[in-house]
Chain A
Amino acid sequence: MKSPVWPFLKRDLQNEINYRLSFFLQLFGLLLTLLLFYLLSRLFGGFVASPLKPYGGAYFPFVLIGVALQSYMNFALGGFAASLRESQLTGTLEAIFAAPVGPLQFLVGSTAYNFVFSSLRIFLYFAAGAFLFGVRLDLAQTPLAVVTIVLTIGAFSVLGIVSAGFILIFKRGDPVNYGISVLSWMLGGVYYPISILPDWIQKIAVLIPMTNSLEALRRALLQGQGLASIGPQLAILAAWTVLGLPSSYLFFRWALHRAQDRGTLGHY
């Protein structure tokens, strides 16, 4: 039997074909971002800032992983909510739920394309970094990097699903998405190592999924470190996933029932 996610994936692929220009602009934007950071990193020349030493010392490889994962986080965080919002605006949300579709199928199905596409983007970021800008990634740690990314998807999805629940309730204005995005961007170590932050902020930062994903990926891909080194980060990501996914799903289901009770499922 075909996966219940497949109809959604196929629909989004067909829909995306209608937005070819947007697709190519995104790829162009990706290269432009990398070029910008590459040129910025050349400003420093051979200078090695001590906070970057645990990651090999060079700024560009450090920020390459940062921006690649940030784009992933943006998709994971915003993807659920954006997909739901689009269904509200196009009026298809009620049509979908008039079919025998459950909340889980809707959540996974509606964001499957985003995850596939953003995974492709991560790959493109790394490929462009390696082939165009000469970044050396430790490919021997690829399996560990994949595990990290899978756990990252789980951890980010927790917040993304909660965010979608908020959209069902409030329709507009998404406090979770905004708050987590800013927090991850500022404290997660996307553009700078968190070691330059005050101690008390670092203690908060290590609880954020972004911080742990970045730390694990950088150590694995830039320094070739193994499971023994990045185990604590993976444990935190796993905890987010295992504890957070069921809770966020229950919250979304509650928000859906609330919308059905109030007759606001199709409102926007």
Chain B
Amino acid sequence: MATESSEKAVVECVRLTKSFGTKRILDELNFRLPAGSITALAGPVGAGKTTLLKILAGLISVSQGTITAGGLDLAVHCRLVRRITGYVPSDERSFYWRLSGFRNLDFFASLHGLSKPDRLARIRRLLVFWGMEGMADIPFRNLSSGMKQILALCRGFIHDPALLLLDEPCRSLGVDTVLKVRSAVRDFSREKGRAVVWATHDVHEIKDLADRILILKSGRLETESPMTNLPSIYREKRKDSWDEAFCAALGKDI
């Protein structure tokens, strides 16, 4: 097995710092997102997870430090980096409510420069995979929260990005769909060699899925380790079970 430093990194962040006014939101983060890996991004509410994802998606600029994605400096080649990045926000308010799910996906896919036949084939494939083919023509506003979330996932996958950023992707989803999301993300990462970041509060979503974990606390990188090492890191604090270790990492006791 290759060591982490020798793995090809899709993203490399060096001393990434973000401040809004005088408030420092992210403080000198250093990490890599290797190709073919799933990285869990955890932390208490307000730790800076969504801000970090938006920075990686090119929606928020950094105050200091550098981010290299796909070999490109994000600050210089923002649009090129967006081409290889898929972002699934936690907010369902990011679609056109009067347009159908199909037309929404078609619009966003066309922004990525996909040709019409390619768009149609990809949209059809995704809708069939997620069992939404019968709902393609229903206006977005008439879909359930779960279906809206599935469309957000479809939008993230549609251009086959090298880096997929998921902000609480299982919000509003039933257990069976959560399993399907986990399986789809695992295949996407393993088979295609894509880097995935999965931000969540729920330990069970990512426990058996992620290879690595980044834990943010007050904007600082509290922990960066292989997922399996988490309990051992916190063993010193007598947190033997995985759940206890996770809570300890977030600064919570159970």
User: A residues engaging B (CB < 8 A)?
Assistant: 2, 6-7, 10-11, 14-15, 18-19, 90-92, 94-102, 257, 260-263, 265-266
Which chain A residues lie closer than 8 Å to B87 at the CB level? 98
With A260-B61, A263-B54 already in contact, the answer to whether A92 and B113 are too (CB < 8 A) is: no
Additional A-B contacts beyond A10-B107, A90-B95, A97-B58 (10; CB < 8 A): A18-B98, A90-B93, A90-B94, A90-B97, A95-B155, A98-B59, A99-B112, A100-B82, A260-B59, A266-B59
CB-based A-B contact count at 8 angstroms: 82
Which chain B residues lie closer than 8 Å to A98 at the CB level? 57-59, 82, 85, 87
* Chain A, residue nearest B103 (CB): A14
* Chain B, residue nearest A89 (CB): B93
Which chain B residues lie closer than 8 Å to A101 at the CB level? 79, 82, 111
Which chain B residues lie closer than 8 Å to A102 at the CB level? 79
Question: Nearest Cβ in chain B — how far from A18, in angstroms?
Answer: 4
Q: What is the CA–CA distance of A96 and B103 in the complex, to the nearest angstrom?
A: 14
Which chain B residues lie closer than 8 Å to A15 at the CB level? 96, 98-99
* Chain A, residue nearest B81 (CB): A100
Question: Nearest Cβ in chain A — how far from B113, in angstroms?
Answer: 7
With A91-B93, A94-B89, A95-B89 already in contact, the answer to whether A100 and B79 are too (CB < 8 A) is: yes
* Chain B, residue nearest A96 (CB): B111
Mostly helix, strand, loop or mixed at chain A's interface? helix
Which chain A residues lie closer than 8 Å to B110 at the CB level? 2, 6-7, 10
* B94-A99 in contact (CB<8A): no
With A94-B59, A263-B51 already in contact, the answer to whether A99 and B96 are too (CB < 8 A) is: no
* A100-B80 in contact (CB<8A): yes
Tell me if B83 counts as interface (CB < 8 A to partner A): yes
* Chain B, residue nearest A268 (CB): B93
Tell me if B108 counts as interface (CB < 8 A to partner A): yes
Q: What is the CA–CA distance of A11 and B112 in the complex, to the nearest angstrom?
A: 15
* A260-B60 in contact (CB<8A): yes
- Other-chain contact of B111, A91, A100, A265 (Cβ < 8 Å): A100
* A100-B95 in contact (CB<8A): no
With A18-B98, A91-B93, A91-B94 already in contact, the answer to whether A265 and B82 are too (CB < 8 A) is: no
Q: What is the CA–CA distance of A14 and B107 in the complex, to the nearest angstrom?
A: 11
* A263-B91 in contact (CB<8A): no
Which chain B residues lie closer than 8 Å to A14 at the CB level? 99, 103
* A99-B99 in contact (CB<8A): no
Q: What is the CA–CA distance of A261 and B52 in the complex, to the nearest angstrom?
A: 13
Q: What is the CA–CA distance of A31 and B57 in the complex, to the nearest angstrom?
A: 48
Which chain B residues lie closer than 8 Å to A6 at the CB level? 110
* Chain A, residue nearest B55 (CB): A263
Q: What is the CA–CA distance of A2 and B79 in the complex, to the nearest angstrom?
A: 18
* A262-B94 in contact (CB<8A): no
List, sorted by A's number, 12 A–B pairs whose CB atoms are closer than 8 Å.
Answer: A2-B110, A11-B96, A94-B59, A98-B58, A98-B82, A100-B80, A100-B113, A101-B79, A101-B82, A101-B111, A262-B20, A263-B20
With A260-B60, A265-B59 already in contact, the answer to whether A100 and B93 are too (CB < 8 A) is: no
Which chain A residues lie closer than 8 Å to B82 at the CB level? 97-101
Which chain A residues lie closer than 8 Å to B83 at the CB level? 100
Q: What is the CA–CA distance of A261 and B63 in the complex, to the nearest angstrom?
A: 8
Which chain A residues lie closer than 8 Å to B89 at the CB level? 94-95
Q: What is the CA–CA distance of A91 and B93 in the complex, to the nearest angstrom?
A: 5
With A7-B111, A100-B111, A263-B60 already in contact, the answer to whether A95 and B94 are too (CB < 8 A) is: yes
Q: What is the CA–CA distance of A260 and B107 in the complex, to the nearest angstrom?
A: 23
For the complex of A and B, 3 pairs with smallest distance between CB atoms = A91-B93, A99-B111, A7-B110
Q: What is the CA–CA distance of A95 and B20 in the complex, to the nearest angstrom?
A: 22
* Chain A, residue nearest B152 (CB): A95
* A95-B60 in contact (CB<8A): no
Which chain B residues lie closer than 8 Å to A261 at the CB level? 60-61, 63
Question: Nearest Cβ in chain B — how far from A255, in angstroms?
Answer: 13
Which chain B residues lie closer than 8 Å to A100 at the CB level? 79-80, 82-83, 111-113
Q: What is the CA–CA distance of A14 and B113 in the complex, to the nearest angstrom?
A: 19
* Chain A, residue nearest B51 (CB): A263
Question: Nearest Cβ in chain B — how far from A265, in angstroms?
Answer: 6
Q: What is the CA–CA distance of A257 and B203 in the complex, to the nearest angstrom?
A: 36
Q: What is the CA–CA distance of A237 and B73 in the complex, to the nearest angstrom?
A: 41
Which chain A residues lie closer than 8 Å to B51 at the CB level? 263
* B96-A92 in contact (CB<8A): yes
Which chain A residues lie closer than 8 Å to B113 at the CB level? 100
Which chain A residues lie closer than 8 Å to B95 at the CB level? 90-92, 95
* A99-B108 in contact (CB<8A): yes
* Chain A, residue nearest B85 (CB): A98
Q: Which of B128-172 contact A (CB under 8 A)?
A: 139, 155
Q: Which of B45-103 contact A (CB under 8 A)?
A: 51, 54, 57-61, 63, 79-80, 82-83, 85, 87, 89, 91, 93-99, 103
